[in-house]
Chains A and B, each alone.
Chain A
């Protein structure tokens, strides 16, 4: 918080008691105003009625779905299907927002909707379940002790997150922290870079809704994991074991695992996602690691990077980082 008025007096160094202020004004209590990092939110009279429904994803076609057969799909998989079918859902349910396993619509649904789509090359059906309807009343939002207070706060936070994403800032993880990845502060002497950003959330007080915003920063190394692994190879195999690969290699691999397992890394391509390293696979490389893409095609990591990001793999023998992506190890 920043004080509006000036503070402090007797600015010169005090040598004796007589250097103190003889001003009787200093003996009075003064009113001061503080700026906070909170901005009042107002919900307009034209704010639409909001209906909350559950989202369920099933494998296969719409006519094949059985409630017992639902698979444990992750929230990010539902998000992928929603992004693909956004315009179709808008036609059915009007303006909507979604987060996790919920969707908030501006139109009340008379029946459940089944939307057939594709996910990772496989047929899936998304169900918007109208039996789980929950109405969030926007008419008297400022009224304290409302039963749907938490739901409305959740809706406001989803809207806030989407508005923040529209500004071009990058969200990291699930928490509402957004960073400016394009204007990083470089610290070359330490081989570090800093991304400045903001953390934002909507909060419902008894007196009304406020948007709470604060600045924050994210620190990361400018060095890639590969160049650090190469440095470690030189330190351990070439340095400590004087080029004796047979003896030095197990020590090098142990040192790399110790350094990176459990640490967080950021991809410097695409949406710059964060991953936690589970392990390092020294047996495989980008050319002999394969996975299935959207259209069901089996493709090597090297080929995928060239096709998707136009990036050529510089070191074909580099080890592979094992990470968890949406509950799956890859």
Chain B
């Protein structure tokens, strides 16, 4: 059998997406799959021979989720508002810095071509609306 993905599929984004969707896993699915494999692996006699045991639960890391940004009203409203950054990005821009003095360089790898094109189009649309 021929190993690997042929160039004919690799060069076709739609085919590549079809292929990758078959192995796509959510983080939960991935964790379940790893834990299933580990349960199977624990049963092997090799560990007993060398008196090695493995904990059944994965290691955890403690971390902190940062506070969301607070919105400050220009009009001096007393009410405190906290915004999700994702939604903030969708808000219209009321004030902006002059950009014409800067050169923008957009660097991307070939796998991020679509994202780079989107970013470029968004910048052009912003320029038009300003």
Contacts and interface: CB of A to CB of B under 8 A. Distances in A.
A194 B37 CA distance: 18
A46 interface: yes
A307 interface: no
A1 B83 contact: no
B28 to A, nearest CB: 6
A33 B59 contact: no
B82 A42 contact: no
A45 B53 CA distance: 11
Given A19-B87, A24-B82, A264-B4, A42 B15 contact: no
Contacts of A43: 51-52
Contacts of B45: 166
A185 B23 contact: yes
A35 B60 contact: yes
Interface residues of A, number: 80
Contact of A164 (B1, B41, B60): B41
Interface string B1-27: 111111001000001001100110101
B104 interface: no
Contact of B37 (A20, A29, A30, A213): A213
| Among A32, A164, A190, A274: residue with most chain B CB under 10 A | A190
A220 to B, nearest CB: 5
Interface of A: 1-2, 4-5, 7-10, 13-14, 17-24, 26-48, 95, 156, 159, 162-164, 166-167, 185, 187, 189-190, 192, 194, 196, 198, 200, 210-211, 213-215, 217-225, 228, 263-268, 274
